[in-house]
Amino acid sequence: MKKTAFELLFLLGSAAVLQAEPAYVLHASFPDGTGLEILTQTTGSSPIVPQGEMGIGPGVGSQDLVHRLVIDNTGTILFAYNVEASRGTSAGTVKIRIEPISAATEASFLKNAGNLRVSGAHLPTVAGVHEFAAVAMGQAVTLDILYNPSTGEKIYDVLRPIPASSGTMSVDSVPATETISLNRITIRVNGKAIPAPASWIIGGAVRIDIPHQGTYVIAANDPHEADPNHTFAKVAHADGRTLSWGMGSAHVEITSGTNVLMRSEKGVLWVFHDSHYQPDVVALQSADTVAWLFPKK
């Protein structure tokens, strides 16, 4: 579904209805072929709506922007900001620009909020412009929204570059599938620590190259329909921030800075192992499907 910002606000309805529907995530597409997936996460138990809301509205000059609203399950707007995506400074990357909402945009939100609630006279927004010049496909960046010093809980948005679904400005709501999140991981093979990149990757499938072990492709959802030509074993166990599996003589344990699964606390995942490809260093990749991740012959 594609909406303008004002249509979006009128159609939100009550948060109870949003919570009763199947889980969705929001995708934004930009005219140059770049796209973003955006969802809200929390380190605690605050009742946020991961989908949040987005719409398209006027930016500076003739440039349209995506307006982002972070909401909780009472329908209260917690935060608002503008976001743009464009081709990054290096090949295969995306530039993400986050900026405060304008006074005119805030006034429109407050006037047309419908069943959404506003807790004060103004909507909280970012203090200034934030730019991420070159975010690789499959990687993610975060924007802190709220922090509770008494509990240590943080609410934040996760922004992940994805291919655009159209060649025009659009916002789409798509069904959410289980997603793997590996953030600043540590890796142990048979108890021995191996250095890993300090990046954050998110996707329906991930690839991990480990020296002396080969390549592992791990899928959160059954991969055989997407790629029937590779054999996966359902042997990896995700439990909170830990992902582990045993294949052959190797036992691999990965610890992430975030929960390994973004929609569940625990789960069993599929693993494909290629021992013939031997990397020199640990490398991480992610994609929405496994087909993009197999080593090229």
pLDDT digits (tens, 9 = 90+) for 169-228: 888 888 878 889 999 999 999 999 999 998 889 888 999 999 999 999 999 989 887 778
Q: What is the H or E stretch that residue 82 is in?
A: strand 77-87
- Rounded to whole angstroms, the Cα distance separating 270 from 180 reads 12
3-state secondary structure of 133: strand
Answer yes or no: pTM beyond 0.85. Answer: no
For 70, 273, 294, 295, the CA distances from 216, given in Å and listed in that order, are 36, 5, 9, 10
Contacts of residue 117, defined as CB under 8 A and 6 or more positions apart, other chains included, come to: 74, 75, 76, 77
What residues form DSSP beta bridges with 192?
A: 189
3-state secondary structure of 193: strand
How do residues 248-275 score in pLDDT, each as one tens digit? 899 999 999 989 998 888 999 999 999 9
Query: Cβ distance 72 to 48 under 8 Å?
Result: yes
Residue type, 4: T
| Among the listed residues 237, 191, 247, 255, the one whose alpha carbon sits nearest the alpha carbon of residue 216 | 247
| Per-residue pLDDT at 132 exceeds 90 | yes
